[in-house]
């Protein structure tokens, strides 16, 4: 008698932040396309972030379910509706935000108890430490996801060893040891773990790190051909349980999918595409700094004036919200928008980035080097003008500039910690912005070589997610692994 394969239900629990939710939704689509039931667990206001994308996927017959938790904003001392890291108004409230996330555990576990089919594994954002206890309670594997490359994972691992041995120098550059390439950094370029900010969250980070060590394995939004040496080394560290399944954004393969990635865009996709259609191929610079970062008005001025001085047509994404009032004041007082309207498009709020990057008119991507944006740029074959700001973004820049050689830096030298932007003076002048743009955009040797390499990587990325590609195989192996764990448990 044949034993039928048990039904799989992967429970996905993203961190409540746009840059963490978006790749998890893409991952849900990919798993569901393989016949796996996927249950996305998030809070009510965050559901709106991906309703259009998930509704379309569900409408096409994919088994994706969305389960809503009630976010305890008031109990954690947060303003009502503050359900995403993007909406936390000040640094002082970041601890409250993580306290609120911890309060979600009981609700989530009650839902898991009643869930049918029973959960077979949890894929959790690494920042949600309580999922380690939950996985133990339900006796199912917990796979972690934190949206970083294998390169950065390996850098972080080796930096932790250096920190524990008191070997990170306070000033000057140093080489991160035991990497396939020579990577030099300074302490000022490192994430909070090694370069503390005003508000210490060391206790939260220690708890997250302890929970990480208990994970069954780790899923990475990368493709093996992008960073082969780093994938190999990281796999050794994790006893083989590393699955590379990216670039996840490539699951959005039509314009509707691309436009519906993330929040509702403030710029209508038709309007955006029409504007881009009016420019020559590879002539437009797209400048966007992700969903979390903000710039002090003085630094934003240098960015805007550098884009203008480059002489190239550009799209500049301007954040919306209270913290942006000073920037809006400058834009109107300076007359910047009016003055540049012939060749500049300003998008307020959320931009359909995947759609924009895939347009033939885009010739350069001025980016903060967040990993989602980095992969989206690579997948579109667009060379990068790098301007890292916080977290692991300087490490991502090292990969882009020194290993892959597909970008040019603006010369940023120091982390501007999240929610502390006003404390930092201007780091990058308009002349440096202009120079980096011109180097990438000009059809001279450096720009041409850079563009050629990025286009090649973009094609390799697409091959990786196709049938028989390395990332397609990575997802197959992950599903098989969970099937085997479940079969062994039922024996």
Domains of the chain from N-terminus onward: 9-250+465-490 (3.40.50.2000), 265-462 (3.40.50.2000)
Q: Which helix (H) or strand (E) holds 396?
A: helix 393-398
Query: 403: cis peptide before it, omega within 30°?
Result: no
- How far is the C-alpha of 138 from the C-alpha of 222, rounded, in Å? 29
Compute the C-alpha angle 463/468/469, nearest 5°: 35
Q: Which helix (H) or strand (E) holds 376?
A: helix 371-379
Parallel, antiparallel, or unpaired for β 184-186 and 173-175?
antiparallel
Using alpha carbons, select from 322, 270, 330, 272 the residue that is nearest to residue 297. Answer: 330
Q: What is the pLDDT along the chain (491 residues), one digit of tens a residue?
A: 333 456 899 999 999 999 999 999 999 999 999 999 999 999 999 987 777 666 776 677 788 999 999 999 999 999 999 999 989 988 889 999 999 999 999 999 999 999 999 999 999 999 999 999 999 999 999 999 999 999 999 999 999 999 999 999 999 999 999 999 999 999 999 999 999 877 778 899 999 999 999 999 999 999 999 999 999 999 999 999 999 999 999 998 766 665 655 555 557 788 899 999 999 999 999 999 998 888 989 999 999 999 999 999 999 999 887 668 899 999 999 999 999 999 999 999 999 999 999 999 999 999 999 999 999 999 999 999 999 999 999 999 999 999 999 999 999 999 998 888 888 879 999 999 999 999 999 987 778 999 999 999 999 999 999 999 999 999 999 999 999 999 988 76
pLDDT of res. 256 = 62
Instruction: Give, in order, the Cα–Cα distances in Å from 420 to each of 94, 231, 411, 413, 485.
Output: 12, 33, 20, 16, 45
CB atoms within 10 A of CB 204: 17
SS (H, E, C) 115-152: CCCCCCEEEEECCCCCHHHHHHHHCCCEEEECCCCHHH
- How far is the C-alpha of 433 from the C-alpha of 366, rounded, in Å? 9
What value does the CA radius of gyration of the chain take, rounded to a whole number of Å? 22
Query: 247: cis peptide before it, omega within 30°?
Result: yes
**What is the reported pTM?**
0.95
Using alpha carbons, select from 342, 339, 337, 353 the residue that is nearest to residue 300. Answer: 337
Alpha-carbon torsion 400, 405, 408, 412, what sign? positive
For residue 484, give every residue at least 6 positions away whose Cβ sits within 8 Å of its Cβ, in sequence order, or none.
none
DSSP 295-350: --HHHHHHHHHHHHHH-S-EEEEE--SGGGHHHHHHHHHHTHHHHTTTTEEEEES-
pLDDT of res. 417 = 87
């Amino acid at each position: 008698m044949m034993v039928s394969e048990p039904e799989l239900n992967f429970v996905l629990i993203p961190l409540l932040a746009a840059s963490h939710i978006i790749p998890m939704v893409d991952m849900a689509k990919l798993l569901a396309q393989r016949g796996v039931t996927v249950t996305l667990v998030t809070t009510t206001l965050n559901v709106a972030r991906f309703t259009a994308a998930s509704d379309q996927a569900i409408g096409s017959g994919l088994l994706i379910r969305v389960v809503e938790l009630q976010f305890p904003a008031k109990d954690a001392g947060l303003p009502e509706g503050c359900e995403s890291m993007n909406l936390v108004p000040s640094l002082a409230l970041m601890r409250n935000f993580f306290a609120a996330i911890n309060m979600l555990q009981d609700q989530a576990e009650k839902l898991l108890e009643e869930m049918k089919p029973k959960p077979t594994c949890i894929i959790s954002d690494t920042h949600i430490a309580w999922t380690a206890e939950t996985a133990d309670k339900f006796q199912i594997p917990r796979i972690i996801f934190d949206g970083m490359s294998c390169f950065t994972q390996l850098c972080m691992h080796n930096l932790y060893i250096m920190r524990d041995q008191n070997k990170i120098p306070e000033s000057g550059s140093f080489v991160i040891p035991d990497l396939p390439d020579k990577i030099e950094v300074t302490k000022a370029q490192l994430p909070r773990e090694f370069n503390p900010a005003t508000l210490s969250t060391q206790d939260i980070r220690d708890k997250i790190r302890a929970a990480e060590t208990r994970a069954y394995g780790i899923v990475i939004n990368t493709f093996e051909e992008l960073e082969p040496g780093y994938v190999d080394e990281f796999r050794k560290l994790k006893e083989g349980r590393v699955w590379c399944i990216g670039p996840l954004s490539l699951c959005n393969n039509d314009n509707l999918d691309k436009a519906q990635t993330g929040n509702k865009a403030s710029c209508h996709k038709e309007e955006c595409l029409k504007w881009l259609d009016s420019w020559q191929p590879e002539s437009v610079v797209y400048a966007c700094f992700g969903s979390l970062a903000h710039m002090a008005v003085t630094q934003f001025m240098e960015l805007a004036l550098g884009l203008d001085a480059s002489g190239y047509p550009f799209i500049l994404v301007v954040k919306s919200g209270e913290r942006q009032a000073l920037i809006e004041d400058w834009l109107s007082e300076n007359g910047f928008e009016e003055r540049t309207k012939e060749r500049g498009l300003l998008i307020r709020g959320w931009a359909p980035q995947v759609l924009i990057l895939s347009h033939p008119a885009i010739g350069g991507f001025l980016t903060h080097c967040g990993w989602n944006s980095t992969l989206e740029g690579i997948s579109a074959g667009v060379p990068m003008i790098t301007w890292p700001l916080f977290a692991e973004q300087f490490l991502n820049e090292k990969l882009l500039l020194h290993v892959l050689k597909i970008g040019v830096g603006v010369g940023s030298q120091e982390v501007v910690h999240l929610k502390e932007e006003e404390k930092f003076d201007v780091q990058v002048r308009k002349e440096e912005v202009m120079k980096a743009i011109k180097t990438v955009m000009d059809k001279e040797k450096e720009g041409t070589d850079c563009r050629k390499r990025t286009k090649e990587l973009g094609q390799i990325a697409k091959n990786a997610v196709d049938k028989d590609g390395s990332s397609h195989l990575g997802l197959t192996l992950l599903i098989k692994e969970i099937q085997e764990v479940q079969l062994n448990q039922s024996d």
